[in-house]
């Protein structure tokens, strides 16, 4: 959080109804997104629950540029099926394509022709596709998807959680918007979507979430689920102090200097690791530096979760916390079989205003050492595997004694130093 956000928390109005805090947040939402209606929620996944319960019927499809874990879980729980229709370039681990998060509109047209528009609950686009390296989506592609949705009467939904980084990439990579302001780009994006939702942890640097819409009908259809699951319509499960921080955080997201810091640091880390032979996803995306675990640990079978194993090894080698984004983050099929993820990534998140360049350099040094000693690292196996969202609280163990051998090698090279 910024100092302005921390200061704003001190003026929060805890009134249950008629809260000035809510009114300030609602006004900021309208200013930035240009949507008339706003529903607060305690998290982004809570917003997904409300949207899925409102729009998804059993047997329906939800096409999208790429899924996110909780998004897929909510759609599946409501009887729907996620269909990923990304472009062929999306899964190229090394590329200089600027917008690998774009949805393939030809595939969308083919899906509509095959199943019929009434079989599609809604179309979802995700800013900064989380599970394939934080790759952005272009504004030109958003316009193209909107055109298809208009032709077939489909609802278009936008997950704006990672919008901040995506805004920077549109500004710097999309020629038509180089001279546009961040506020104008945001308003143009929002105008294309029937529903915009977000996790405030990512876009506003606060705890909470929300749903915005320009449709009174959709607002009324979703509204009743907020007091049922979240809380009254003036807070939706959020602390009023967090709401004040979110109001300021959303405003700060319109600042080019603020939103550029993360992508600039990520670009540096990706380029430096790449130069050292460490396999990373290129071009650098948003949210963090993404290490390609399938190539880093090409001796570890995918069934032994190489991305999870690499995240564990990175922590052992440097006390660096990374996030597995691969098969561990998927769910088993109804028959118990395990779908292998399209990518096995370790996400090294670089949130804005948190890390210094010296810390990034430290991480580069330790990951380079680990890559030189990667043959020591083995896989993982389940000890306790939850049925839903298993990666949040499941428990695993190493296959063999590779963690002990990695520690021994570390001590042989570095002694007791850090």
What mean pLDDT value characterizes the chain? 96
Query: Are 231 and 271 found together in one domain?
Result: no
> Active-site residue among 33, 37, 66, 68?
68
Listed residues 239, 254, 269: the one ending a domain: 254
Query: Are 133 and 57 found together in one domain?
Result: yes
For the record, the structure tokens of 261 come out as 């810091």
Residue 309: left if φ>0, alpha if ψ -120 to 50, beta else—which one?
A: alpha
Query: Are 180 and 62 found together in one domain?
Result: yes
Q: Is 368 a catalytic residue?
A: no
> Active-site residue among 69, 71, 234, 247?
69
Residue 16 confidence (pLDDT):
85
Query: Are 368 and 264 found together in one domain?
Result: yes
Query: Are 249 and 324 found together in one domain?
Result: no
Q: Is 265 a catalytic residue?
A: no
Query: Are 202 and 273 found together in one domain?
Result: no
Query: Are 243 and 261 found together in one domain?
Result: no
Can you state the percent helix, strand and coil of the chain, rounding each to 5? 50, 15, 35
Query: DSSP letters of 220-268?
Result: HHHHTHHHHHT--TTTTT--HHHHHHHHHHHHHTT-HHHHHHHHHHHHH
Residue 69 confidence (pLDDT):
87
Predicted TM-score (pTM) above 0.75: yes
Listed residues 254, 283, 314: the one ending a domain: 254
Q: Is 353 a catalytic residue?
A: no
Q: Is 392 a catalytic residue?
A: no
102: CATH: 3.40.640.10
Listed residues 227, 254, 281: the one ending a domain: 254
Q: Is 81 a catalytic residue?
A: no
Residue 82 confidence (pLDDT):
96
The ranges of the chain with pLDDT < 50 are none
CA distances from 273 to 132, 279, 293, 306 (A): 18, 7, 13, 19
Torsion of CA 292, 297, 302, 304, to 10 degrees: -130
389: CATH: 3.90.1150.10
Residue 123 confidence (pLDDT):
98
Prior bond to 310 cis, omega within 30?
no
> Active-site residue among 124, 201, 207, 325?
325
Number of domains in the chain: 2
Residue 418 confidence (pLDDT):
63
Query: Are 275 and 249 found together in one domain?
Result: no
> Active-site residue among 24, 45, 171, 202?
202
Which residues pair with residue 86 across a beta bridge?
103
Query: Are 225 and 262 found together in one domain?
Result: no
Residue 134: left if φ>0, alpha if ψ -120 to 50, beta else—which one?
A: left
Q: Is 16 a catalytic residue?
A: yes
Query: Are 185 and 321 found together in one domain?
Result: no
Query: Are 22 and 167 found together in one domain?
Result: yes
The helix/strand/coil state of 121 is coil
Range of the structural domain that residue 374 is part of: 257-414
Q: Is 68 a catalytic residue?
A: yes
Query: Are 306 and 176 found together in one domain?
Result: no
> Active-site residue among 102, 159, 194, 251?
159
Residue 300: left if φ>0, alpha if ψ -120 to 50, beta else—which one?
A: beta
Q: pLDDT, tens digit, for every residue of 374-414?
A: 999 999 999 999 988 899 999 999 999 999 999 999 999 99
Dihedral sign computed on CA atoms, order 258, 158, 232, 52 = negative
């Amino acid at each position: 959080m910024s100092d302005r956000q921390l200061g704003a928390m001190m003026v929060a109005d805890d009134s249950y109804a008629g809260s000035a805090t809510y009114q300030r947040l609602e006004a900021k939402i309208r200013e930035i997104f240009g949507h008339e209606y706003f529903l607060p929620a305690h998290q982004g996944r809570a917003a997904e629950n409300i949207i899925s319960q409102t729009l998804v019927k059993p047997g329906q499809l939800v096409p999208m540029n790429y899924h996110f874990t909780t998004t897929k879980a909510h759609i599946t729980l409501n009887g729907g099926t996620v269909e990923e229709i990304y472009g062929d370039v999306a899964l190229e681990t090394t590329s200089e394509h600027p917008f690998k998060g774009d949805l393939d509109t030809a595939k969308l047209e083919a899906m509509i022709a095959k199943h019929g528009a009434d079989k599609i609950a809604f179309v979802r686009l995700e800013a900064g596709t989380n599970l394939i390296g934080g790759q952005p989506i272009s504004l030109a592609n958003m316009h193209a998807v909107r055109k298809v949705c208009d032709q077939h009467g489909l609802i278009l939904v936008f997950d704006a959680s990672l919008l901040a980084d995506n805004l920077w990439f549109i500004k710097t990579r999309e020629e038509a918007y180089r001279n546009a302001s961040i506020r104008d780009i945001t308003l143009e994006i929002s105008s294309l979507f029937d529903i915009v939702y977000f996790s405030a942890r990512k876009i506003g640097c606060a705890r909470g979430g929300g749903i915005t819409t320009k449709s009174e009908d959709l607002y009324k259809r979703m509204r009743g689920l907020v007091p049922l699951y979240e809380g009254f319509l003036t807070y939706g499960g959020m602390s009023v102090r967090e709401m004040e921080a979110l109001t300021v955080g959303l405003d700060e997201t319109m600042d080019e200097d603020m939103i550029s810091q993360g992508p600039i640091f990520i670009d540096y880390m990706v380029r430096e690791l790449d130069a050292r032979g460490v396999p990373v996803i290129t071009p650098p995306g948003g949210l963090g530096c993404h290490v390609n675990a399938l190539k880093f640990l090409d001796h570890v079978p995918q069934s032994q979760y190489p991305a999870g194993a690499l995240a564990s090894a990175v922590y052992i080698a440097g006390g660096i916390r990374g996030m597995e984004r691969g098969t561990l983050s998927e769910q088993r099929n109804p028959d118990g079989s395990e779908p292998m993820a399209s990518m096995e990534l370790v996400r090294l998140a670089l949130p804005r205003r948190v890390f210094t360049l010296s810390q990034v350099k430290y991480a580069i040094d330790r990951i380079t050492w680990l890559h030189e000693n990667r043959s020591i690292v083995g896989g993982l196996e389940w000890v306790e595997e939850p049925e839903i969202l298993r990666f949040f609280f499941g428990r695993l163990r190493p296959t063999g004694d590779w963690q002990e051998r990695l520690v021994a090698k570390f001590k042989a090279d570095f002694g007791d130093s850090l």
